[in-house]
Amino acid sequence: MRAKASDRGPGAYPAVRDAVVWPSRAVVLLLTLAFAAGLRVPGWIQYLPFAASLVFFGLPHGAVDHLVPSRLAGRDADGRSVLAVVLLYLVLSGLCLALWFTAPITAFVLFVGVTVFHWGAGDLHALLFFGPDGLSGMGRASRALLLVLRGGLPMLVPLLFFPDAYRGVATAAAGLFGADATALPAVFSAGFRLAVGGALAVVAFLFLLRAAGDLAGGGRTLLPVALETSLLFAFFAAVPPVLAVGLYFTLWHAPRHVARLVLLDPAGADHLRTGRPGRALARFARDAAPLTALALALLAGLYLAVPRASEAPGSLLAVYLVLVSALTLPHASLVTYMDGRQGVWERGLSSPGDRSGP
């Protein structure tokens, strides 16, 4: 059964587009043009988006997961639903951290795979509910292809254009636990990267072919999606990967998910509908603050627990990515549950202006 949302009118959707979607597109476009024109920035600046994500959208965007099941059901949070989410996190995060300590290379590969799925699913939801009209006619195959394509952009395009930087992040993360990422030399070879690029191109072609057949208007309906996807490809091809992925996480993926969560909160949705996004964000920040603080404490504990952490920026980022990977696995599982309840895979959603739910 599809969940009913707390959005009481169509005004919330234009508010999300104005406050979240268009600003992130503008940032991505400007930075793509700047770096394509030759902009270079010091290495330490490239870490700033990840540092900001500790308290600005990134880490907090999953910090209200304990409220999601009850809000999807249209009721106040209860101990049973909160306990279920807590157990989900304890089990999956614990298993993920155990994998990092015992098989860090495998843990890194799993992290990349889960992130492709999760970020692709986030963009799929955002395009269906906050994007252009007319995409509701896409079938499940088209949506699955779009998920793979959009999730692959931030995780795979940097591998194509910045293999040394990608290797550096993998080496730093695995090195925390005494492993050597050079155990995966084929992943960074020209042949493998060519295969990855070819696979992405095939997925893009199949998506356009399949979705054009699904949708009335075909190519015209898909044009905004194609343009946005092309913009993201250019962004990850031009901007250094630590900076690009950090910005995408903090200013693209996380705010879209925060908007989705705000629409589950009746008061937050009303604030959006009546043109008060600041109040909606303040309510979210209040709800997210306790578990964001807990996540920061866990990060400090993880820094002390991993065998070879240091104060170097690359090492600090690696510790943060290990924590994020442990939190992403249960978070992605819960978001998949949200997708099912909210009809992300159902054909025939109404247009943004008429939708009754997020």
Q: What is the mean pLDDT of residues 134-159?
A: 95
| pLDDT number for residue 352 | 40
The whole-angstrom separation of Cα 328 and Cα 326 is: 6
Domain boundaries, the chain: 12-344
| Structure confidence at residue 182 as a pLDDT band (50, 70, 90) | low
Is the pLDDT reported for residue 358 higher than 90?
no
Most confident of 5-14, 113-122, 220-229: 113-122
Is the pLDDT reported for residue 134 higher than 80?
yes
| Structure confidence at residue 5 as a pLDDT band (50, 70, 90) | very low
pTM reported for the whole predicted model: 0.92
| Structure confidence at residue 353 as a pLDDT band (50, 70, 90) | very low
Is the pLDDT reported for residue 322 higher than 60?
yes
CB 263 within 8 A of CB 5: yes
| pLDDT number for residue 11 | 64
Tokens (6 digits) for 24: 């992130």
DSSP one-letter string for 75-111: S---HHHHHHHHHHHHHHHHHHHHHHHH-HHHHHHHH
| pLDDT number for residue 356 | 38
Higher pLDDT residue, 357 or 282? 282
| pLDDT number for residue 132 | 84
Is the pLDDT reported for residue 141 higher than 70?
yes
Within 10 A of 167 (CB to CB), how many other CB atoms are there? 17
DSSP one-letter string for 201-267: HHHHHHHHHHHHHHSTTTHHHHHHHHHHHHHHHHHHHHS-HHHHHHHIIIIIIHHHHHHHHHHHSHH
Higher pLDDT residue, 155 or 3? 155
Within 10 A of 98 (CB to CB), how many other CB atoms are there? 12
| pLDDT number for residue 243 | 97
Cα end-to-end span (Å), the chain: 14
Per-residue model confidence as pLDDT tens digits over 22-57: 999 999 999 999 999 999 999 999 999 999 999 999
Most confident of 76-85, 182-191, 252-261: 252-261
| pLDDT number for residue 7 | 37
| pLDDT number for residue 181 | 67
The whole-angstrom separation of Cα 342 and Cα 344 is: 6
| pLDDT number for residue 307 | 87
Higher pLDDT residue, 142 or 4? 142
Instruction: Compute the C-alpha angle 321/172/108, nearest 5°.
Output: 55
User: Residue 9 carries which side chain, given as an amino acid letter?
Assistant: G
Phi/psi for 136 (5° steps) reads -65, -15
331 marked as binding residue: no
| pLDDT number for residue 221 | 84
Is the pLDDT reported for residue 3 higher than 70?
no
The DSSP 8-state label assigned to residue 353 in this structure reads G
| pLDDT number for residue 183 | 66
118 marked as binding residue: yes
Token pair 């095939």 is found at 202
Per-residue model confidence as pLDDT tens digits over 187-245: 888 999 999 999 999 999 999 999 999 887 767 889 999 999 999 999 999 999 999 99
Most confident of 233-237, 262-266, 271-275: 233-237
CA atoms within 13 A on the CB side of 22: 8
What is the dihedral sign for C-alpha 321, 326, 329, 335? negative
Tokens (6 digits) for 239: 């901007």
Tokens (6 digits) for 59: 């880490």
Give the whole-number percent of the chain exceeding pLDDT 90.
Answer: 75
271 marked as binding residue: no
Is the pLDDT reported for residue 20 higher than 50?
yes
Helix runs in 131-186, H state only = 140-161, 163-175
66 marked as binding residue: no
| pLDDT number for residue 274 | 84
Burial of 289 (0-12, 13-18, 19+ CB in 10 A): middle
